[in-house]
Structure 1
Amino acid sequence: MNSLIIALGIIKRTIGNRKGILLHILVPALVISALIGLMGDGGDDTAQVLYMNRDTGAAGSHLIKELGRNDSYRLSEAASESDIKEALLQRKAAAAFIIPPEFTDRLLKGSPAPVELSELTMSEASFALRMNIDHQVGLAAMQTAMLKTAGEPLERMPRVFEQTEKHQVTTKTSDLGLYSNASLGFVTGFLLMFLMGLVNTSVSAVIEDRKRNTMTRMFAAPVRSGEIALGNFLGSFLLGTLQIVVVLAVTKYAIGYRYGLPFWEHLLLLEFFLLAVIGISSSVAGFVRNSENLSAINAMIATPTCMLGGCFWPVAIMPEFMQKLSHFVPQSWAIEGIKRLASGQSIEELWMHLTVLALFAVVLLGLGSVVLKPGETDSA
């Protein structure tokens, strides 16, 4: 009961008014969401491809239908060539193509008219489009040649196109989940740095209690030191959980960033990392005596561990000895775990990552409960 009272007191002091909610919940969520929205691959990344069909025959419309089946781009009809040029220059479209007026006639004669393809720069979408155009035109030419060989009238060509568009024999592409979102590591790094900010918040609250002799009165009262440590832990944990839920909800459902992993499993892994962060804050709180040193804490603990753990760049690009050192900070385990979840692994397969994060929490919280004693501040 005493621990719960202490926890509720921490929450009330932190977000018990409009200013606290704004500074500790809304502003961090909006800032991180803005960063993720700017650098993350959140929305619909399907490339836009414009087209104009000047052919009045069956081959032109058939080509449009077949090209539209490709998931590498999204087709949209353009009103004029000037619209195509403007869209390409403004990078609103990855590529564009124009089907010539005599496309069907020349195809039936055995010499298909070239489809005019325009692109500002080579891209995956434009390359896929070029390959698909060549394939479809070649397939239509082969079908025309087969009709001629069989002695069938070329007027039956539209019927052949109709049968082709039914795709009675199709292929199925399976996403094996072997690759996660390319920006997921950096986005996760932002989230972990945000959680590391709890170090300053928790330390600030403890220092304030020590400076105002609130902690001294706690220890003088019939309250065990374990209850005080548990109260500080519960308050920080509930506050951190609220912050995580808000940030994930805003980035996933409002911004539309595609993490590529289930919400609750993502939340669970971040909760384990939160435990480790609270352990760090509890340990630091027992040694810091002056609130002016809080900025130095962030410089000496949060920033270096985030750098070593892969929040700013992939761990794989660091020297081998630094890659080994990264296993001694919780950020690397959290980032790797989230990437594995996004790659298709289940939460049960990440038992090692969860266990290591839990060990970080147990060891550091144990240290924090030992050193968390009332004492004089440097400014006293």
Structure 2
Amino acid sequence: MKEIMWLVANSLRSIFLNKRRIFAYVLVPLLGIFISFMAYGNTGPTFINTGIVDLDQTTISQNTSRFISGLNNVKTSKLAESEVKNKIASGALDCAIILEPGFSQAIMDGEKPEVQIVSVKGAQVTTYIKAYLNNYIGNLSSLSTAANGDNTVFNTLYQNYQNSEFKVSTHSLKDTSNNNDMTIQTIGFLLMIMLNSAGGLSELILKEKENRTYFRIMSAPIDGKKYVLSNVIVNMIIMTIQVVVTLTVMTKVFGISAGVPFWEMIGVMMFFSLVSVGLSLVITAFATNSNSAGALQNLIMTPTCLLAGCFWPVEIMPKAAQKIADFLPQRWLLDTISELQKGHTLSSLSLNLVTLLAFALVFFMIAIYKFSRSNNVRSFI
């Protein structure tokens, strides 16, 4: 055990004394947060800047203006009719609502009042306001129908309507979908970095064999099993640091809620860390040198991350690609996090965790078998 700890400490010392490795293993995973933040971070609530031109200047038209001003996510300002074109053209306003002369009288007569909504942005801006405005005018038209053309009765009904004690209170629920999407994309990027980091660390076995460092180590009272085990431990330590740093920066610095308890997320990620180490050892076992190991990493890791949905929702891919994704460990990890965000408990997702563990065990068994049979690296095990 003492020899293993010495190897681990020596490896960690060489990593953290190298600025390039610190950048690659610790800082690069944070790029995923910036990418996801740029993709989803500016999709919060937006306001529709609306100008109101009241050409009717009656109590009903003024109350209608106040109703529009009270809508959520709508900022209103009063302006003259002559200002409409310039404000819309310059982009100062998203739309302008013009209440034509006779607006109130038309409502009292049970007719459809003249309302213009001017916008160059089309339905994506006007639909929201139209829906509420049509509903409001419809309520006033109902009062006119009930008054049956009697202005005195209409005015009484209208005053009662405006002063009604019956109120509807609304509460906005926080939309967590953007945070969940940012989390999934950040984790997807992190998975690729973890795979590449594990591959790079395991590739050191081949590099040290090529530069004869391995044989000098073997001259000490250290055998191949201890050497490989120390490499696995270093891999797990580095990936634990990557996960903790990335999640901490994501939640504490950027304020992105993962929708999953912090330590629960770390625990799930540790299952994938085992998968990463196992796969990296398989690549090392089949590679003849460090160059071929790097080529195999690029051939296996990047395409599988793409197919598994690490960079975009797997649902947008063709059905055939989605079926392939079901056989990839990255897909099972992302699916586990997605289900946890929906409120499922970790115990209810035991199949996902067992599947990840099975991937890791299969990779380790393949690596051990190949190491034991290979003439190039038979001394490792």
TM-score bin, normalised by smaller chain: 0.7 to 0.9
User: CA–CA distance in 1 between the matches of 2:46 and 2:256?
Assistant: 17
Q: Distance in 1 between matches of 2:166 and 2:14?
A: 66
SS of 1:241's partner is: helix
- 1:51–1:76: 8 Å Cα contact kept in structure 2? yes
Distance 2:367 2:202 in 1: 11
Q: Which residue of 2 aligns with 1:335?
A: 334
Deviation at 1:49, TM superposition (A): 0.8
Partner of 2:10: 9
Q: Are residue 310 (structure 1) and residue 309 (structure 2) matched?
A: yes
What SS is found at the alignment partner of 1:197? helix
Deviations 1:265-295 (A, max 9, x none): 4333332222211111122223434222243
CA distance in 1, matches of 2:257, 2:89: 31
Contact 1:211–1:376 (Cα < 8 Å) also in 2: no
Q: Which residue identity lines up with residue 308 of structure 2 in the other structure?
A: G
Contact 1:188 1:311 in 2 (8 A): yes
Please state whether the residue corresponding to 1:67 is helix, strand or coil: coil
Partner of 1:136: 136
**Could you tell me how far apart the structure 2 residues matched to 1:286 and 1:28 are?**
26
TM-score when normalising by structure 1: 0.76
160 and 324 in structure 1: CA distance in 2 versus 1, 3 angstrom threshold: closer
1:165-204 superposed matches below 5 A = 166-167=167-168, 188-204=187-203
Determine if contact 2:108/2:151 at 8 Å carries over to the other structure.
Answer: no
- Report the Cα distance in structure 2 between the residues aligned to 1:154 and 1:371, rounded to whole angstroms: 90
By how many angstroms is 1:110 displaced?
4.5
In the TM superposition, what are the counterparts of 1:1-380 in structure 2 within 5 Å? 1-2=1-2, 3-29=4-30, 31-38=31-38, 40-55=39-54, 57=59, 58-64=62-68, 66-68=70-72, 74-78=73-77, 81=84, 82-87=86-91, 95-100=94-99, 107-108=107-108, 110-111=110-111, 112-123=113-124, 126-143=126-143, 145-146=145-146, 152=153, 154=155, 157=158, 160-163=161-164, 166-167=167-168, 188-223=187-222, 225-255=224-254, 259-311=258-310, 315=314, 317-320=317-320, 323-369=322-368
* Pair 1:86–1:162, CA change in 2 (3 A): farther
Deviations 1:328-377 (A, max 9, x none): 32112122222222333232222111111112222323444565689869
- CA 1:243–1:62 in 2, change beyond 3 Å: closer, same or farther? same
Of 276-285 and 190-199, deviating more is 190-199
Mapped to 1, the partners of 2:43 and 2:165 lie a distance apart of 30
**After TM superposition, where is structure 1 displaced by more than 6 Å over at least 4 residues in a row?**
147-150, 171-180, 373-377
- Name whichever of 304-313 and 150-159 sits farther off: 150-159
CA 244–184 in structure 1, closer or farther in 2 if over 3 Å, else same: closer
How far residue 223 of structure 1 moved from its aligned partner, in angstroms, is 4.1
Q: Please say if residues 66 and 136 of structure 1, whose CA atoms lie closer than 8 Å, have aligned partners that are also in contact.
A: no
Choose 1 or 2 for highest CA Rg. 2
Distance 2:344 2:269 in 1: 16
3-state SS in 1 of match to 2:97: strand
Q: What's the TM-score once normalised by structure 2's chain length?
A: 0.76
2-side partners of 1:238 and 1:273: how far apart?
Answer: 13
1:203 shift after superposition:
2.7
- Asked whether the 8 Å contact 1:60–1:104 carries over to 2, the reply is no
Q: Taking structure 1 as reference, are residues 143 and 119 closer, same or farther at Cα in structure 2, changes over 3 Å only?
A: farther
Q: Percent identity?
A: 22
Please state how far the C-alpha of 1:164 moved relative to its aligned partner.
Answer: 6.5
Q: Do the aligned partners of residues 330 and 171 (structure 1) sit closer, same or farther apart at CA in structure 2, a change above 3 Å counting?
A: same
Cα distance change on mapping 1:257 and 1:12 into 2, 3 Å: same
Consecutive unaligned residues of structure 1, counting only runs of 5 or more, are: 69-73
Kindly state the Cα deviation for residue 54 of structure 1 after the two structures are TM-superposed: 3.7
8 Å contact kept, 2:69–2:75: no
Q: Distance in 2 between matches of 1:336 and 1:237?
A: 22
Distance change (3 Å), C-alpha of 1:224 and 1:104: farther
1:245: Cα distance to partner?
Answer: 2.8
Whole-angstrom distance in 1 between the partners of 2:269 and 2:344: 16
Deviation at 1:45, TM superposition (A): 2.8
Instruction: Give the 3 Å change call, closer, same or farther, for CA 294–104 of structure 1 in structure 2.
Output: farther
Q: 1:28 to 1:78 in 2, by over 3 A?
A: farther
Three-state SS of the structure 1 residue aligned to 2:47 is strand
- Structure 2: give runs of 5+ residues left out of the alignment: none
CA positional deviation for 1:296: 0.8
- Distance in 2 separating the partners of 1:49 and 1:364: 55
Tell me how many residue pairs correspond in the alignment: 361
Question: Kindly tell me: are residues 270 and 326 of structure 1, through their superposed partners in 2, closer, same or farther at Cα, counting changes over 3 Å?
Answer: same
